[in-house]
């Protein structure tokens, strides 16, 4: 509506500007319709506390041609609003608002916006309410060191906050990134694998315990055990993803979401039969796995955590140590030790990389030396033709 001069002149004259052109979340371009003269452009910036700042930026080209200085077309006003509010954004933008904008950006590009909740879970109120421009390296270092978790978990959390702050800096070249470059340094020794790997019998026991807990939950856990997929991937399976003796497993939504959308993952015939029963009579785009109440599992939540803890305890496992991710680790290690599937294929069907498998499962890879022994050269002196080796 604001792009066209004709449409602007048809608006009702009023004191309050029309704000219909969003530049970025929290910043918008407005137009005030005036009686008997050209209207005016203004920029509005949300302050993060329910209020906003409005700043006049020029006269609209309603009656005179735009000159790019004081008389502006819609495009010129849009660009000027973005420039004028750049410094104001940094001045008013809080850490909490930066996280909100980053979550919106992740959602827009197909990433997992729920990852931002990982930061919010640990973020002190004082730091959340602090202006980005006022945040110090000490503030961020205290936040990092206050996260009570394994180094790898701490690093994943601070990476998200750093990405949110970097997004703010990209919109304002004058904002220094030194505070988070120093205060959010990665913790060392974060790549020490802490994978819990279960025996095949333990996996069967925990699956059986999950079915005893609840039939729908049992099916969810069996899919996790057979495919080695993450719970968030399993929750996003749709009816149409079931194809005979395999499922088209959705990839994780880490990063920008620019990876292939699905991976062909084989399943056992018995599991395929159960999934076929679960899918019967339902629309192709319905969730393949649902809870006993009929609602879908939530990809971004831990609604599986408590029932899995109970199942692990029934199976004789420590619920504080064994999580549903142990089924993923066990699946990867099982295939490595079988020594029949190339590592690249194992990585692909588990939606990971060879580098990550080598980093996290190197101990298990090193134990699989049966195949390489076939090529060993025995350098001892060969026996003469007339010498027969005696059997023990």
Asked whether residue 374 carries a pLDDT value surpassing 80, the answer given is: no
pTM flag (> 0.75): no
pLDDT at 143: 93
Tell me the fold of 200-368: hpI Integrase; Chain A (1.10.443)
Kindly report the average pLDDT of the chain as a whole number.
Answer: 84
Mean pLDDT along residues 1-10: 85
When pLDDT is cut at 50, 70 and 90, the band that residue 79 belongs to is: confident
When pLDDT is cut at 50, 70 and 90, the band that residue 149 belongs to is: confident
3-class SS letters over the chain:
CCCCHHHHHCCCCCCCCEEEEEEECCEEEEEECCCCCCCEEEEEEECCCCCEEEEEEEEECCCCCCCCCCEECHHHHHHHHHHHHHHHHHHHCEHHHHHHHHHHHHHHCCCCHHHHHHHHCCCCHHHHCCEHHHCCHHHHHHHHHCCCCCHHHHHHHHHHHHHHHHHHHHCCCCCCCHHHHHHCCCCCCCCCCCCCCCCHHHHHHHHHHHHHHCHHHHHHHHHHHHHCCCHHHHHCCEHHHEECCEEEEECCCCCCCCCCCEEEEECCHHHHHHHHHHHCCCCCCCECCECCCCCECCCCCCCCHHHHHHHHHHCCCCCCCCCCHHHHHHHHHHHHHHCCCCHHHHHHHCCCCHHHHHHHHHHHHHCCCHHHHCCCCCCCCCCCCCCCCCCC
pLDDT at 273: 95
Asked whether residue 382 carries a pLDDT value surpassing 70, the answer given is: no
pLDDT at 363: 73
pLDDT at 365: 66
Asked whether residue 335 carries a pLDDT value surpassing 60, the answer given is: yes
Find which of 5-9, 124-128, 382-386 is predicted with most confidence, using mean pLDDT: 124-128
Backbone angles phi, psi at 252, to 5 degrees: -65, 160
Instruction: Write down the domain spans for the chain.
Output: 5-92, 95-183, 200-368
Reported CATH class of domain 95-183: mainly alpha
Asked whether residue 129 carries a pLDDT value surpassing 80, the answer given is: yes
When pLDDT is cut at 50, 70 and 90, the band that residue 87 belongs to is: low
Mean pLDDT along residues 31-59: 80
Q: Do the domains spanning 95-183 and 200-368 agree at the CATH topology level?
A: no
């Amino acid at each position: 509506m604001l792009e066209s001069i004709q449409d602007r002149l048809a608006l009702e004259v009023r004191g309050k500007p029309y704000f219909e052109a969003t530049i970025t979340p929290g910043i918008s371009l407005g137009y005030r319709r005036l009686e008997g003269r050209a209207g005016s452009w203004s920029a509005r910036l949300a302050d993060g506390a329910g209020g906003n700042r409005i700043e006049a930026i020029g006269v609209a080209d309603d009656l005179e041609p735009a000159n790019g200085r004081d008389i502006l077309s819609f495009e010129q006003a849009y660009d000027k609003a973005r420039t004028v509010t750049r410094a104001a954004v940094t001045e008013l933008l809080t850490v909490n608002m930066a996280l909100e904008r980053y979550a919106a950006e992740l959602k827009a590009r197909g990433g997992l916006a729920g990852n931002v909740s990982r930061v919010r879970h640990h973020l002190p109120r004082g730091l959340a309410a602090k202006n980005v421009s006022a945040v110090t390296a000490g503030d961020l270092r205290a936040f990092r060191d206050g996260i009570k978790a394994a180094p790898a978990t701490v690093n994943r959390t601070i990476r998200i906050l750093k990405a949110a702050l970097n997004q703010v800096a990209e919109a304002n070249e004058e904002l220094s990134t030194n505070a988070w470059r120093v205060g959010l340094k990665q913790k060392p020794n974060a790549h020490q694998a802490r994978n819990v790997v279960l025996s095949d019998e333990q996996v069967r026991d925990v699956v059986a315990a999950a079915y005893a807990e609840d039939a729908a939950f049992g099916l969810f856990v069996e899919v996790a055990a057979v495919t080695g997929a993450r719970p968030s991937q399993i929750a996003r399976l749709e009816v149409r993803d079931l194809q005979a003796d395999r499922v088209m497993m959705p990839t994780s939504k880490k990063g920008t979401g620019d990876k292939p959308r699905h991976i062909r993952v084989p399943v056992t015939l018995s599991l395929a039969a159960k999934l076929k029963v679960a899918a019967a009579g339902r629309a192709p785009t319905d969730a393949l796995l649902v809870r006993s109440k009929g609602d879908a599992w939530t990809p971004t939540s831990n609604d599986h955590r408590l029932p899995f803890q109970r199942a692990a305890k029934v199976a004789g496992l420590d619920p504080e140590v064994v999580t549903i991710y142990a089924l993923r680790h066990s699946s990867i290690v099982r295939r490595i030790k079988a020594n029949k599937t190339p590592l690249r294929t194992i990585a692909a069907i588990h939606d990971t990389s060879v580098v990550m498998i080598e980093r996290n499962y190197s101990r298990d890879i090193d134990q699989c030396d049966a195949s390489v022994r076939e090529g060993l050269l025995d350098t001892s002196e060969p026996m003469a033709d007339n010498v027969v080796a005696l059997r023990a």
